[in-house]
């Protein structure tokens, strides 16, 4: 049996326009790293957290270790573990930071203890960790982070995860403005009721996006990426939203939307050249509104979490 392990789990883009709480995909970068080492006794402890001063060292209140605790309790496993967490993206970034730590935690322990559990079996425990951060059950970050690729959550009761095919030449450019938006707060501003015409339009766009991805119809993907539920409310929390979206579309983006709860925004394009040009343009656009930002360019990551040295 291994004594220690280190796992990388990727950032994710969720919602993807009309897919509120039901769609998401994994990125190649950024991502979080969780290290787990066996220790004597049966205590789970967090040795060190890099990249954030705000996360709890209480194992039951940290997403990485809460998911591990859920897993160990479920299988009645008593073991001592010392955990190190390396955060490579901000909390409240809209890139699934808490999901990445949660997934990395359970994935690492599954490998470390040679439990041979499937990703489907790990999912519920990763979700239990994610709830610590968001306060609600939503799998559109955890599922793509764990399974990789582009994921559709068809149902939450029972949980039904479907991996969707997508064009191989799809590039994603992400802008992460240096502000924080908490998922729990971003959910509070959403309308409790949705007008029928908006619900119909949302369902049509969500269906169109899935159809466009599967058939590799770029034009259908483009015209389907419109959100009638969350984005009209959440864009008010992002000072650079309008200028970034205009800049992305003017530089070859298929479309541009908020990633998760924001403030990160993402754009699809069909070449690395376009993706790089979009990155430069949207970074300048955000700066014109006084916001410094990070940009990431990635194809969709079909692997999910991986063991690293």
Residues 41 and 80 sit within 8 Å (Cβ to Cβ): yes
Q: Alpha-carbon distance 267 to 282, whole Å?
A: 10
List beta partners, residue 24: 14, 151
* Structure-derived torsion over alpha carbons of residues 162, 300, 15, 196, reported in degrees to the nearest 10: -70
- Strands 265-269 and 306-307, bridge-based pairing: unpaired
Give me the catalytic one of 12, 65, 173, 183.
Answer: 183
Q: Which DSSP letter does residue 157 get?
A: T
Give me the catalytic one of 130, 173, 231, 295.
Answer: 130
Is residue 130 among the annotated active site residues? yes
Strand order in the sheet with 293-299: 255-258, 265-269, 171-177, 293-299
In this structure, the number of other CB atoms found within 10 A of the CB of residue 162 comes to 14
Q: Alpha-carbon distance 177 to 157, whole Å?
A: 35
Sign of the torsion formed by the C-alpha atoms of 213, 216, 222 and 224: negative
Question: Which secondary structure element, helix H or strand E, spans residue 228, and what is its range?
Answer: none
Q: Alpha-carbon distance 190 to 87, whole Å?
A: 28
- Written as one string, the DSSP assignment of 182-199 is -HHHHHHTS-SS--HHHH
Would you please indicate which residues are annotated as catalytic (active-site) residues?
130, 183
């Amino acid at each position: 049996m291994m004594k220690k392990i280190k796992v990388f789990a990727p950032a994710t883009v969720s919602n993807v326009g009309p897919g509120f709480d039901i769609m998401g995909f994994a990125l190649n970068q950024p991502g979080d790293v969780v290290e787990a080492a066996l220790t004597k006794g049966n205590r789970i402890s967090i040795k060190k957290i890099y990249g954030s001063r705000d996360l709890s060292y209480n194992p039951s209140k940290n997403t990485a270790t809460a998911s591990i605790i859920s897993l160990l309790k479920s299988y009645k496993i008593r073991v001592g573990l010392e955990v190190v967490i390396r955060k490579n993206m901000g909390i409240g970034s809209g890139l699934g930071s808490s999901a990445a730590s949660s997934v990395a935690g359970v994935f690492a322990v599954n490998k470390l203890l040679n439990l041979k559990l499937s990703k489907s079996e790990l999912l519920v425990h990763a979700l239990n960790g994610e709830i610590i951060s968001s306060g609600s059950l939503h799998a559109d970050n955890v599922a793509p982070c764990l399974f990789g690729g582009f994921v559709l959550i068809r149902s939450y009761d029972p949980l039904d995860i479907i991996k969707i095919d997508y064009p191989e030449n799809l590039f994603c450019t992400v802008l992460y403005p240096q502000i924080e938006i908490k998922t729990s707060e971003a959910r509070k501003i959403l309308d409790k009721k949705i007008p029928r015409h908006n619900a119909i339009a949302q369902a049509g766009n969500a269906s169109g996006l899935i159809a466009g991805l599967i058939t590799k119809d770029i034009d259908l993907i483009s015209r389907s990426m419109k959100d009638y539920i969350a984005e009209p409310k959440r864009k008010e929390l992002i000072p650079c939203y309008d200028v970034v979206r205009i800049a992305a579309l003017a530089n070859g983006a298929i479309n541009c939307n908020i990633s998760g709860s924001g403030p990160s925004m993402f754009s699809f394009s069909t070449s690395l050249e376009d993706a790089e040009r979009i990155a430069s343009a949207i970074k300048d656009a955000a700066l014109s509104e006084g916001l410094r930002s990070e940009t990431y360019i990635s194809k969709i990551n079909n692997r999910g979490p991986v063991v690293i040295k």
